[in-house]
Structure 1
Amino acid sequence: MNLFKRWISSPQPALNGMRLGPEEHEDTNPLMLQFFTWDTKHPTLSWWKHFEEEIPRLAAMGFTQVWLPPPNKAADRDGRGYDAYDLWDLGEFDQKGSIPTRWGSRSEFLSACKVAKEHNVDILIDAVLNHKLGGDRCEAFNAVPVNSQNRLKVDGKPRQIEGWTAFDFPGRNGKYSAFRWNQSHFTALDWDHKTQTKAIYRIEGPGHKGWSKNVDKELGNYDYLLGIDIDHRHPAVQEDLKNWGSWILDTSGAVGFRIDAIKHIDHKFLVNWISQLRRTPNRSKMFAVAEYWSGDVSLILPYVKAFKGQAAFFDVPLHMNLHNASKHYSRYDLRTVMNLSLAKLRPRDAVTFVDNHDTVEGQSLESWVGSHFKTQAYALILLRPEGYPCVFYGDLYPNSECSPDDITRSNLEKLINARKMYAYGPLTDYPHDKNCVGFVRAGNEKHCGCAVILSNREDHDDNFVHSIRMNVGSHHAGCSFKSILSDGGHVEIDKEGWGVFTCFPNSASVWVRE
Structure 2
Amino acid sequence: MFSWLKGWFVTRSPVPLQYMRVKPERNDGNPLMFQFFTWDCLQDDKSWWKHFEEQVPRLAEYGITQVWLPPPNKAAVPEGRGYDAYDLWDIGEFEQKGTTKTRWGTREEYLQACKVAQEHGIDILIDAVLNHKLGADRTEEFQAVPVRSDNRLKDAGPPRTIQGWTAFDYSGRGDKYSPMKWTQEHFTGVDWDDKAKTKGIFRITSPGHKGWSRNVDSELGNYDYLLGQDIDHRHPAVQEDLLNWGEWILQTTGATGFRLDAIKHIDRKFMLNWIQETRRRSGKKEMFVVSEYWTGNLKFLMPYLNHFKGETAFFDVPLHMNFNKASRERTRFDLRKILSSTVVQVRPNDAVTFVDNHDTVEGQSLESWVGDNFKVQAYAIILLRGYGLPCVFYGDIYPNKEGYSETISREVLLLMKARKRFGHGITEEYLAHSNCIGFVRKGDSSHPGCAVILSNREEGSTPYVHELRMNVGIEHAGSKFGSFMTGHGVVEIDAQGWGMFTCFASNVQVWVKTEELLPENR
Question: Structure 2 regions of 5+ residues with no counterpart?
Answer: 1-6, 515-522
Matching residue of 1:428: 428
Deviations, residues 228-262 of structure 1 (Å, cap 9, x unaligned): 00000000000000000000000001000000000
Q: Give the AA of the match of 1:424.
A: H
Tell me the matched-pair count. Answer: 505
Q: Secondary structure at the match of 1:431?
A: strand
Which residue of the partner structure matches residue 15 of structure 2?
13
Partner of 1:359: 360
Once the two structures are superposed, what CA deviation does each residue of 1:307-361 show, in whole Å capped at 9, x if it has no partner?
Answer: 0111100000000000000011101000000010000011000000000000001
Preserved CA contact (<8 Å) 1:422 1:448? yes
Q: Which moved more, 1:166-175 or 1:274-283?
A: 274-283
Measure, in 2, the Cα distance between the counterparts of 1:143 and 1:133.
18
| Counterpart residue number, 1:375 | 376
- 1:478 is displaced (CA, Å) by 1.1
SS at match of 1:321: helix
For residue 12 of structure 1, report the CA deviation from its aligned partner: 3.1
Q: What is the alpha-carbon distance in structure 1 between the residues aligned to residue 162 and residue 180 of structure 2?
A: 24
| Alignment correspondent of 1:478 | 478
2:62: which partner in 1? 61
Structure 1 residue matching 2:281: 3-state secondary structure: coil
Deviation string 1:73-127 (CA, Å, 9 cap, x unpaired) is: 0001100000000000001111001110000000000000110111110000000
1:96 paired residue number: 97
Q: Deviations over 1:427-483 (max 9, x none)?
A: 111111110001111111111111001100014258731000100001111111111
**Contact persistence 1:125–1:256 (CA under 8 A):** yes
Q: Summarize the Cα distance change of 1:459–1:71 in structure 2 as closer, same or farther, 3 Å threshold.
A: closer
One-letter amino acid matched to 2:338: V
Could you tell me how far apart the structure 2 residues matched to 1:128 and 1:459 are? 43
Are 2:107 and 1:111 aligned? no
| Alpha-carbon shift at residue 140 of structure 1 (Å) | 0.3
**1:170-223 per-position Cα deviation (integer Å, ceiling 9, x unaligned):** 000111111000000000000000000001000012211111010000000000
Structure 2 partner of 1:445: 445
Q: Does the CA contact (< 8 Å) of 1:211 and 1:221 recur in 2?
A: yes
SS at match of 2:104: coil
In structure 2, relative to structure 1, the CA distance for the partners of 1:461 and 1:364 (3 Å cut) is closer
Is residue 141 of structure 2 the alignment partner of residue 153 of structure 1? no
Structure 1 position 460 matched with structure 2 position 436: no
* 1:315 alignment partner in structure 2: 316
- The offset of 1:489, in angstroms, is 0.8
Pick which of 455-464 and 132-141 moved more.
455-464
Matched position secondary structure for 1:55: helix
Superimposed CA distance per residue, residues 55-90 of structure 1 (whole angstroms, 9 cap, x where no aligned partner): 011111100000000000000110000000000000
> How many angstroms apart in 1 are the aligned matches of 2:103 and 2:135?
15
- Note if contact 2:331-2:458 (Cα within 8 Å) is conserved in structure 1: yes
Q: Aligned equivalents of 1:425 and 1:464: distance in 2? A: 31
Matches of 2:461 and 2:307, distance apart in 1:
52
Question: 1:138-185 CA deviation, whole Å, 9 max, x = no partner?
Answer: 100000111110000011111100001000000001111110000000
Instruction: Tell whether the 8 Å contact from 1:10 to 1:305 is kept in structure 2 after alignment.
Output: no
1:407 paired with 2:420, answer no
| Aligned match of 2:341 | 340
Query: Does the aligned pair in 2 maintain the 1:474–1:495 contact within 8 Å?
Result: yes
Say whether the 8 Å CA contact 2:397–2:404 is kept in structure 1.
no
Query: Which residue of 1 is the match for residue 195 of structure 2?
Result: 194
Deviation at 1:13, TM superposition (A): 2.1
- Distance in 2, matches of 1:426 and 1:324, equals 28
1:508 Cα deviation from its structure 2 partner: 0.5
Question: Deviation of residue 15 (structure 1)?
Answer: 1.6
Residue 281 of structure 1, CA deviation: 5.5
Moved more, 425-434 or 336-345: 425-434
Secondary structure (helix, strand or coil) at the match of 1:24 reads coil
Match of 1:3 in 2: none
SS at 2:26 equivalent: helix
Which whole-Å deviations, capped at 9, do the CAs of 1:354-388 have from their partners, x for residues lacking one?
00000001111111111121110000000011210
Map 1:15-30; keep pairs closer than 5 Å.
15-25=17-27, 27-30=28-31
Q: Secondary structure at the match of 1:279?
A: helix
Matches within 5 A, 1:48-447: 48-280=49-281, 282-404=283-405, 406-447=406-447
Contact 2:251 2:282 in 1 (8 A): no
CA 1:143–1:496 in 2, change beyond 3 Å: closer, same or farther? same
Q: Report the Cα offset of residue 10 of structure 1.
A: 6.6
Code of the residue aligned with 2:457 in structure 1: it is R
Determine if contact 1:13/1:346 at 8 Å carries over to the other structure. no
> What SS does the aligned partner of 1:23 have?
coil
Aligned to 1:493: 493
2:394 counterpart letter in structure 1: Y
Matched with 1:503 is 503
Report how far residue 11 of structure 1 moved: 3.8
Structure 1 SS opposite 2:142: strand
The alpha-carbon deviation at position 14 of structure 1 amounts to 1.6
CA contact (8 A) 2:250 2:282 kept: no
Q: Is the 8 A contact 2:315 2:354 kept in 1?
A: yes
Taking the aligned partners of 2:220 and 2:431, their CA distance within structure 1 comes to 39
Query: Which ranges of structure 1 fall in alignment gaps of 5 or more residues?
Result: 1-5
Q: What are the Cα deviations for residues 272-305 of structure 1, in whole angstroms up to 9, with x where unaligned?
A: 0010111136400000000000000111110000
| CA distance in 2 between partners of 1:186 and 1:417 (Å) | 47
Contact 2:379/2:412, CA 8 A, preserved across alignment: yes
Q: Percent identity?
A: 62
**CA–CA distance in 1 between the matches of 2:167 and 2:489?**
66
Rounded Cα–Cα distance in structure 2 between residues aligned with 1:435 and 1:504: 11
State the distance in 2 between where 1:281 and 1:148 align.
Answer: 39
Contact 1:484/1:509 (8 A) holds in 2: yes
With over 3 angstroms needed to count, the CA separation of the structure-2 counterparts of 1:191 and 1:390, relative to structure 1, is same
SS at match of 1:112: helix
Note the C-alpha offset of 1:426: 1.1
Code of the residue aligned with 1:478 in structure 2: it is G
Q: Secondary structure at the match of 1:70?
A: coil
1:41 corresponds to? 42
